[in-house]
Amino acid sequence: MLANLLKDDATRSVLLNMIRSLSEARVSEMNAVASDLGDVMITIQEQVGPVVQPTPARLMSDGTLRFLAIAAALLDLSQLNGGTEATNSGGRMLVVEEIESGLHPSQAAVLLSQLKESTKSGVQTVATTHSPAILDALDGPAILDALNGPAILDALNGSDHSSVVVCNRGASGWSKATRLTDFPDYFDVVGRSPLGTVAVRDQLRPGDDAPKNSRSLIDVLGLR
């Protein structure tokens, strides 16, 4: 799939910008090399000092390979959609489990911004996470737009919280999903500290499932 995407100059440029935003290495090029048996190997050219060093997929980290897989799926789905809006019928969906797997925490906001941008190309994304870094990226500052070069792109912010769903087992033993903005003490939760910190303290629970030491917005404002 990556080899086919690299045949298009515009898509190649997007992939290169995405991998440059992910890696600390100075990536100059990405190529697909085929063997006599028809096997395809993706290779990244990295500049180390004055030397350009090729790095084949077999030597890339798990996080880099996973990032490339997600990027390839996003770009491929966008092309299949023909650039239509996500609200159109026939829009496509990408599902990613444990989206943080193999990635450095600092790359969380970059990946989330790519997924947010993908909605403009008609790709809806459902991603699960247990990572405080991913949750903290929901409140992150503006970051570099890896799709369009040196422009600044807003990271996910409060207006995106309606798309965040918290899953937990309730007192009945059944798992349930609660939209973050539907929490009775939503403003207290997001105003108290970063979402990742709230989750680590086990305070990201709705209603009756909240820990007893958790204070609601009503308590904080002294309205009870």
- Cα→Cα distances 113→116, 131, 151, 160, Å: 5, 16, 13, 11
Query: 91 falls in which pLDDT band (50, 70, 90)?
Result: low
CATH of domain 2-163: 3.40.50.300
Query: Beta-carbon neighbour count of residue 167 at 10 Å?
Result: 9
Stated length of the chain: 224
Query: 107 falls in which pLDDT band (50, 70, 90)?
Result: confident
Residue limits of CATH 3.40.50.300 in the chain: 2-163
Greater model confidence, 101 or 217: 101
Structure-token pair, residue 151: 């422009």
Exposed/middle/buried for residue 35 (C-beta within 10 Å: 0-12, 13-18, 19+):
exposed
